[in-house]
Structure 1
């Protein structure tokens, strides 16, 4: 597979050779997403922000062979509804499995309680409910403060393509 553009908005989105970005689920939520939502400095400016609904998974910036991370804002599916839009021009992301609850290592925000959520999605080509399942997976991370989603509605997504080998 060929490498994709590694710049978004003039910013480098790849680490130098020899460096790896392999955060745990808890680090993504409580180190990166928390800082993004609370407008605090990020530990590293490696996760770009972009509207995921404008990109099919194979068109996202970055190396197709690597797991890629993005900040994105939740976009309402319906004007007056609370459901999130996860459709693209070629298909849609469908939830699979159960959501995983994440706990912070320690809460240094005083009386604010934090909890993280991780949901897994699979990309389907075509329109629901007749789409064809693909090998593209997305892990969506959300942060709840005092058991409520913050007004900023930021979330982090980790997208990767599952490579299958058959004889």
Structure 2
């Protein structure tokens, strides 16, 4: 037996031989070493298998978030709970005048309809009922051969529009800028119905001031409760 007194007494070849002997002893005690990988079979990959993505999502900076919000607002211009309740003056100054002068319009734009088509069609056939609407806005392309009629008959003798009265519209400075013509729809039996129409029309002098020949009006079609 060799007694190692200190670090200097170590004999490295002797220790190496001891290590080799220990390895041989282990092989004798465990003559068959189990191959831990021999049972590893390839896992078949299904075509429908979805690979999991464990990557860490990259956080967006504030600029990118603002851009996404802007894009959403452009695609969805009307916020939830919004009600469109413009005054007649706003409809004249912000919509009708800008429409005629080809200026940029507010985010809520209206459809266009020819005056002859509008007043010769039953109001129920003019609009769609999606969410129980009772009011519709649209631009009316005026027809000089049609505009002066106070009675406007609907085709197929389904009824007629009757001009009942009109009122003048003034701006904030007290200047007369337009007229509001009030129409009521009557059935073919001359019975008053719940359909009404407000037609906002600029005064003729306004078109002369801008040297314009093409005239437009803004219509507001209203549906009330049906009469029985």
The TM-score with structure 1 as length reference comes to 0.69
Partner residue in 1 for 2:221: 159
SS of match in other structure, 2:143: coil
Q: Is 2:198 aligned against 1:136?
A: no
Structure 1 segments (4+ residues) deviating >4 Å: 14-17, 147-150
Q: Larger Cα Rg: Structure 1 or Structure 2?
A: 2
Between stretches 34-43 and 86-95, larger displacement belongs to: 86-95
SS of match in other structure, 1:58: helix
User: Contact (CA 8 Å) 1:100, 1:118: kept in 2 or not?
Assistant: yes
SS of match in other structure, 2:153: coil
Figure out how many residues of one structure are paired with residues of the other and give that number.
Answer: 141
Using CA pairs under 8 Å that are at least 6 residues apart, name the structure with larger relative contact order, 1 or 2. Answer: 1
Query: Following TM superposition, by how much is the alpha carbon of 1:162 offset from its aligned partner in structure 2, in angstroms?
Result: 1.8
Give 2:97's match in structure 1, choosing from 34, 54, 61: 34
In 2, the alpha carbon distance for the partners of 1:148 and 1:114 equals 14
Structure 1: stretches of 5+ with no match in the other structure:
1-13, 108-112
Query: Following TM superposition, by how much is the alpha carbon of 1:88 offset from its aligned partner in structure 2, in angstroms?
Result: 2.4
Partner residue in 1 for 2:205: 146
Structure 2 CA distance for partners of 1:20 and 1:145, relative to 1, 3 Å: same
Structure 2: stretches of 5+ with no match in the other structure:
1-76
RMSD (Å), alpha carbons: 3.1
User: Contact (CA 8 Å) 1:94, 1:121: kept in 2 or not?
Assistant: yes
Structure 2 CA distance for partners of 1:45 and 1:54, relative to 1, 3 Å: farther
Structure 2 CA distance for partners of 1:61 and 1:154, relative to 1, 3 Å: same
